[in-house]
């Protein structure tokens, strides 16, 4: 595998494109929105400059990494790719449409991966005529820093596809973990209910935002408190994942906290909107 396309130039997509390019792959970073694409490329350059400043990368390595990255607004560029990693909005209809197009555009050998945080790979795969070559590749935020990639086997994912993605994950200097296709996989099935419980703790007036986070940071050694982490992930994303868990398992223990719903309805989406449980400049 030499040439990769990452679709979606947001925080996750640009991070994924960066780690592939740093590991020697030629990468198309694709987004249909030109300004989002420009922002994604600028963000990568900023992080690479920081790596040079910190002595983790030479100026030559940075230049070579940037040369391996091609911005793309045309999905047809996927015809040159051995692997496509989709990181678009968490919406099943949108993802199925992207995968249907990719199935038509890409060569027969191309593997189609999704960075979905909770949607079923098996369902996404059903939009293609190659469900054996469709797989989940779930990176964690911030992608350049976090070591984990959850690799999700859809019901029809072949052993060959799984092995190819496990190998490539190791080449990115990340650690693969094999997961079956159930709502929230492992990471978000455990993480997001914990965040939801922290929001219930706030909602019921047990403690303040700062103190809830302090308990988990100092008491459990978490790098961020759950409310700070919710702001970092995006409150809309947290709510969406809780809804996927609630619907997928049909179990009331996954009901989203009404306070989370209120915040999302108010447009308080966390860091990206300037306000969530905390205020941001």
- Catalytic center residues: 117, 138, 150, 188
Q: How many residues bind ligand CAA (CB under 6 A)?
A: 18
Of 36-55, binders to ligand CAA (CB under 6 A) are 47, 50, 54
Residue 160 vs 178, nearer CB to ligand CAA: 178
Binding ligand CAA by CB under 6 A: which of 30, 110, 114, 117? 117
Asked if residue 21 binds ligand CAA (CB under 6 A), the reply is no
Least CB distance from residue 204 to ligand CAA, whole Å? 24
Is 265 within 8 Å of 248 (Cβ atoms)? no
**Where are the alpha helices (H) located in 56-158, listed in sequence order?**
59-67, 92-105, 121-125
- Interface segment toward ligand CAA; rule CB under 6 A; list 74-82, 141-149, 203-211, 258-266: 141-149
Start-to-end CA span in the chain (Å): 42
Least CB distance from residue 255 to ligand CAA, whole Å? 19
Angle formed at CA 183 by CA 18 and CA 28, multiple of 5 degrees: 20
Binding ligand CAA by CB under 6 A: which of 233, 239, 245, 264? 233
Asked if residue 66 binds ligand CAA (CB under 6 A), the reply is no
Of 177-196, binders to ligand CAA (CB under 6 A) are 187-188, 191
Is 149 within 8 Å of 139 (Cβ atoms)? yes
Instruction: Name the phi and psi angles at 82, rounded to 5.
Output: -90, -25
Instruction: Name the phi and psi angles at 70, rounded to 5.
Output: -120, 120
Is 193 within 8 Å of 242 (Cβ atoms)? yes
Nearest to 198 by CA among 219, 224, 225: 225
Least CB distance from residue 104 to ligand CAA, whole Å? 28
Residues that bind ligand CAA in the complex, under the rule CB under 6 A? 47, 50, 54, 117, 140-142, 144-146, 187-188, 191, 223-224, 229, 233, 237
């Amino acid at each position: 595998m030499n040439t990769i396309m990452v679709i979606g130039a947001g925080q996750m997509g640009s991070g994924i494109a960066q780690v592939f390019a740093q590991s020697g792959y030629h990468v198309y970073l694709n987004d249909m929105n030109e300004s989002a694409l420009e922002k994604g490329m600028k963000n990568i350059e900023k992080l690479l400059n920081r790596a040079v400043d910190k002595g983790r990368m030479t100026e030559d390595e940075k230049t070579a990494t940037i040369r391996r990255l091609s911005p793309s607004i045309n999905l047809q560029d996927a015809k040159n790719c051995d692997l496509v990693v989709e990181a678009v909005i968490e919406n099943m209809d949108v993802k199925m449409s992207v995968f249907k197009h990719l199935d038509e555009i890409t060569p027969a050998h191309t593997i189609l991966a999704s960075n979905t945080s909770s949607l079923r790979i098996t369902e996404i795969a059903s939009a293609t005529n190659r469900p054996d070559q469709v797989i989940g590749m779930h990176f964690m935020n911030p992608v350049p820093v976090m070591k984990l990639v959850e690799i999700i086997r859809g019901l029809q994912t072949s052993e060959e596809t799984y092995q190819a993605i496990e190998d490539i994950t190791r080449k990115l200097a990340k650690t693969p973990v094999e997961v079956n296709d159930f709502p929230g996989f492992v990471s978000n099935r455990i993480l997001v209910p914990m965040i939801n419980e922290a929001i219930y703790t706030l909602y019921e007036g047990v403690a303040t935002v700062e103190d809830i986070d302090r308990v988990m940071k100092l008491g459990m050694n978490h790098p961020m408190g759950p409310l700070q982490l919710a702001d970092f992930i995006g409150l809309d994303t947290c709510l969406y994942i809780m809804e996927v868990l609630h619907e997928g398992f049909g179990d009331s223990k996954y009901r989203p906290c009404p306070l989370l719903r209120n915040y999302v309805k108010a447009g308080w989406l966390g860091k990206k909107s300037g306000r969530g449980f905390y205020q941001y400049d």
